Amino acid sequence: MADTAEPKPFEPVIIGFTCNWCSYRAADMAGTARMKYAPNVRLIRLMCSGRLDPTFVFKAFASGADGVLISGCHPGDCHYLNQNYKMLRRYRLMRRVLAQLGIEPERLKLLWASAAEGAIFAEEVSKFTEEVRALGPLNWNPDRGLQTADKVAVSPDHGPSSIEEVKA
């Protein structure tokens, strides 16, 4: 309450959605093994990444998150057979919609992490935090929407992976 007065360097806030069976347990494992990662991510546990309603992601961005991490079991390892594939479809769609809304699609990250991959989880969270930090705070401007969407489709600035994602 008292410490909002001084201007502080930008610290991104990331909301992470994890599944009960793999990625939340990966986060637990990172904890049990005392691996260190950036404190910027705040996790929400879902039963399955397939539960991820796109609304959740947009709600997070609208409520002040600078980045959103979606994490689930590796393809083929889903506790509910194949629901992570359904999340994957939504993820690709969401990246496109984000671009159209004027939000850099790179602010949404997908991470497969099995219950044994605490180290990978920790490492990727820190990496993503730095990526979002580089993007800067999310100053959402709805007017920029179309313009950015065009840019994503043609400009190489966003890197080949994102263009592929958008086209896919």
Partner 1 sequence: MSAEKKPKERIGVYVCHCGTNIAGVVDVAQVSAWAGEALKEEGVVIARDYKFMCSSLGQELIQKDIKEYGLTRVVVAACSPHLHERTFRNACAGAGLNPYLSELVSIREQVSWVHTDKVAATEKAKAVVAGGVRRVVHHEPLEPLHVPIHPATLIVGGGIAGIQAALEIAEAGYPVYLVEREPSIGGHMAQFDKTFPTLDCSACILTPKMVDAGNHPNITLLTYAEVEKVDGYVGNFVVTVRKRARSVNEDLCTGCGVCWEKCPKKVVDDKFEAGLGYRKAIYVPFPQAVPKYPVIDRENCTYYQKGTCKACEKFCPTGAIDFAQEDQILTLEVGNIILATGWQLFDPRRIPNYGYGRLANVFTSLEFERLSNAAGPTGGNIVLRDGKTVPRSVGIIHCVGSRDRNYNNYCSAICCMQSLKFAHLVHEKTGATVYNFYIDIRTPGKGYDEFYQRLIEEGTIFVRGKVAEVTDAARNPGEEGKLIVQVEDTLIGKQRRIPVDMVILSAGLEPPADAREVAKKFGISCSVDGWYIERHPKLDPVATMTEGIYLAGCIQGPKDIPSSVAQGAAAAARIVSKIQQKEIALEPVRASINEEQCSGCRICNDLCPFNAIVFHEDRMVSEVNPALCQGCGTCVAACPAGAIRGTGFSNEQILSQIEGLLLLNLAGKEAVVQENA
| Residue range at the interface with partner 1 (CB under 8 A); choices 62-70, 91-99, 103-111, 149-157 | 62-70
Which residue in 101, 111, 122, 132 binds partner 1 (CB under 8 A)? 122
110 binding partner 1? (CB under 8 A) = no
The DSSP line for 28-85 is HHHHHTT----TTEEEEEES-GGG--HHHHHHHHHTT-SEEEEEEPPTT--TTSSHHH
CB 131 within 8 A of CB 40: no
Provide the minimum distance between the beta carbon of 91 and partner 1 in the complex, in angstroms, as a whole number: 12
Two structure tokens written together for 126: 């820190």
What does the per-residue mask of binding to partner 1 show for 68-107, with x meaning CB under 8 A? --------xx-xxxxx--x---x-----------------
48 binding partner 1? (CB under 8 A) = yes
